[in-house]
């Protein structure tokens, strides 16, 4: 179970080409192996392995005849999906290159060529390309990054700045697709078929123009992927990073050719666990996924197998999500959490809960929202996470009410929790 964990930071990634992956793996392992965090991760991995083992058992018990029946049904479904495949939309996924780091470099150009990371000793959110040469990358704890690269410079994150530059990029995106969809600060999906037709330009040229304009307006580079679906566009934007782009022609064959050897892990939504689960059944690429489609449908839930089938044939995410005009993104939750030095002092913990409740209440008030459910998240010193949730009799944004509810949940737990390192 430990190999997956120590492998976490050695996966191929833009800017990591010359890295001595074995060395990185060893450093990460040595810096982690005696920590509580490592122990918890190992336990979680054991749980995943157990789940996979159960699936293997189930797979072994499926009669070949049953699998054949499923295969026929799946093939039918695939045929129908293919028949209604829509290749007329042109999606672009734009992804800023090491966004947070690049923003800081813009104002402090001397940071370009020294290894630099945004974040601190606990956690890094982005690293510049100079740092990546040492194996430093996002979501790596800073103290490990520092071990890999002693001269690494840390820069504090500055979200106000990132938002400013994000808004500049969005000004550009708007020209190409007024309804563009910004997932986060540093990326967006645009549907440019109308734009291409209006300007008589190829999608590749539009992507070039868009990236040029982003660079002019922000002095930042970005990468782009062009494809008939969002999912594939996202895969493509990652393919030629940084400052590059990739286009898949909108034909069934071009899509199939790309997918045949594409690692499933490259697909948005396929994370560490799903990747490992599929790997246990010999499925590493989307081509494997297509070949093993009957097994996939037999083993996974309908939601998952629908998703995986769509991945396998490159269908899904063609249509722009239907939204009434004037629609604004509807937030579904709002939270605050904080990590601190582990403590079992109930008074201190209660004070933290009250403070977090204040922040949440302020957030709700700011957005003119009310909540009916309050969730308390606790992470123990050993990284064990527990959540407790309760429904309020009526919607509120009152800090006192929220705090009281959370404290009630907290007291209900008193017995079990040793010391806590996080509350949310």
Q: Which residues are catalytic?
A: 187
**143 neighbors 132 (Cβ within 8 angstroms):** no
From the list DNA, a second copy, none, pick the one residue 123 interacts with, judged by a Cβ distance below 5 to 8 Å according to partner type: DNA
**259 neighbors 290 (Cβ within 8 angstroms):** yes
Nearer to a second copy (CB atom), residue 63 or residue 347: 63
Strand-by-strand arrangement of the 91-96 sheet:
181-184, 187-191, 91-96, 222-227, 245-247
From the list a second copy, DNA, none, pick the one residue 76 interacts with, judged by a Cβ distance below 5 to 8 Å according to partner type: a second copy
Pick the stretch among 167-175, 192-200, 241-249, 380-388 that binds DNA (CB under 7 A). Answer: 380-388
Nearer to a second copy (CB atom), residue 111 or residue 298: 298
| Pick from 114, 138, 143: nearest CA to 126 | 138
367 Cβ contact list (under 8 Å, min separation 6): 331, 334
* Residue 299 half-sphere exposure toward CB, CA atoms < 13 A: 24
Cβ of residue 324: shortest distance to a second copy, in angstroms?
3
What's the CA gap between 64 and 201, in Å, rounded?
51
**Two tokens at 169?**
């990029």
From the list a second copy, DNA, none, pick the one residue 303 interacts with, judged by a Cβ distance below 5 to 8 Å according to partner type: DNA
Q: What does the angle CA 331 – CA 332 – CA 335 come to, to the nearest 5 degrees?
A: 90
Binding mask 335-354 for a second copy (x = CB under 8 A): --------------------
Q: What does the angle CA 155 – CA 158 – CA 160 come to, to the nearest 5 degrees?
A: 165
Among 80, 338, 366, 411, binds a second copy (CB under 8 A): 80
Nearer to a second copy (CB atom), residue 86 or residue 337: 86
What's the CA gap between 76 and 230, in Å, rounded?
24
Q: Is 194 in the site for a second copy (CB under 8 A)?
A: no
Nearer to DNA (CB atom), residue 85 or residue 379: 379
Cβ of residue 285: shortest distance to DNA, in angstroms?
16
Residue 183: what are its φ and ψ, rounded to 5°? Answer: -70, -50
Cβ of residue 201: shortest distance to DNA, in angstroms?
27
Cβ of residue 177: shortest distance to a second copy, in angstroms?
17
Cβ of residue 30: shortest distance to a second copy, in angstroms?
45
Q: Is 26 in the site for a second copy (CB under 8 A)?
A: no
Q: Among the residues of 33-120, which ranges form H helices?
A: 36-61, 64-83, 99-107
Q: Is 69 in the site for a second copy (CB under 8 A)?
A: yes
Cβ of residue 325: shortest distance to a second copy, in angstroms?
5
Is the bond preceding 298 in cis, omega lying within 30 degrees of 0? no
Binding mask 305-334 for a second copy (x = CB under 8 A): --------------x--xxxxxx-------
Instruction: Specify the DSSP element, H or E, that contains 130.
Output: helix 129-132
Tell me the three state secondary structure of residue 93.
strand
| Pick from 96, 141, 134, 99: nearest CA to 115 | 134
Q: Is 310 in the site for DNA (CB under 7 A)?
A: no
What's the CA gap between 154 and 150, in Å, rounded?
11
Q: Which stretches of the chain bind DNA, using CB under 7 A?
A: 28, 31-32, 35, 37-38, 44, 47-48, 51, 121-123, 125, 139, 141-144, 146, 183-187, 267-275, 300-301, 303-304, 329-339, 363, 372-373, 385-391, 421-422, 424
Sites of contact with a second copy (CB under 8 A): 63, 65-66, 68-70, 72-73, 76, 80, 83-84, 319, 322-327
């Amino acid at each position: 179970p430990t190999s997956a964990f120590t492998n976490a930071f050695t996966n191929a990634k833009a800017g990591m080409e010359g890295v001595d992956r074995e060395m990185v793996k060893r450093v990460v392992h040595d810096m982690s192996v005696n920590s509580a965090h490592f122990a918890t991760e190992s336990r979680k991995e054991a749980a995943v392995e157990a789940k996979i083992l159960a699936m293997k058992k189930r797979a072994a018990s499926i009669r070949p005849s049953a699998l054949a029946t499923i295969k026929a049904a799946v093939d039918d479904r695939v045929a129908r999906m293919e028949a209604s495949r829509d290749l007329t939309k042109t999606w672009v996924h734009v992804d800023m290159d090491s966004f947070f780091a690049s923003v800081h470099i813009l104002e402090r150009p001397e940071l370009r060529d020294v290894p630099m990371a945004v974040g601190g000793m606990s956690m890094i959110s982005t690293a510049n390309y100079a740092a990546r040469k040492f194996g430093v990358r996002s979501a790596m704890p800073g103290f490990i990054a520092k071990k890999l690269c002693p001269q690494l410079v840390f820069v504090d994150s500055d979200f106000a700045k990132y938002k400013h530059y994000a808004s500049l990029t969005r000004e550009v995106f708007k020209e190409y697709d007024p309804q563009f969809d910004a997932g986060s600060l540093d990326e967006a999906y645009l549907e440019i078929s109308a734009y291409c037709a209006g300007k008589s330009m190829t999608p590749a040229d539009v992507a070039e123009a868009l990236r040029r304009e982003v660079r002019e307006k922000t002095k930042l580079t970005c990468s782009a992927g062009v494809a008939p679906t969002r999912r594939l566009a996202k895969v493509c934007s990652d393919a030629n990073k940084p400052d590059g782009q990739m286009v898949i022609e909108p034909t069934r064959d071009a899509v199939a050719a790309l997918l045949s050897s594409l690692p499933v892990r490259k697909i948005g939504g396929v994370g560490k666990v799903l990747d490992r689960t599929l790997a246990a059944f010999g499925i590493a690429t989307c081509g494997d996924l297509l070949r093993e489609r009957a097994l996939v449908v037999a083993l996974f839930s309908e939601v998952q197998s629908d998703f995986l089938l769509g991945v396998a044939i490159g269908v899904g995410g063609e249509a722009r999500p239907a939204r009434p005009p004037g629609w604004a993104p509807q937030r579904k939750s709002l939270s605050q959490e904080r990590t601190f030095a582990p403590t079992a002092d109930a008074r201190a913990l209660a004070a933290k809960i009250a403070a977090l409740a204040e922040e949440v209440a302020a957030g709700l008030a700011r957005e003119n929202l009310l909540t009916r459910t309050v969730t308390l998240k606790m992470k123990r010193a050993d990284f064990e996470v527990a959540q407790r949730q309760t429904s309020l009799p009526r919607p509120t944004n009152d800090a006192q009410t929220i705090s009281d509810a959370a404290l009630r949940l907290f007291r209900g737990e008193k017995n079990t929790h040793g010391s806590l390192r996080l509350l949310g």
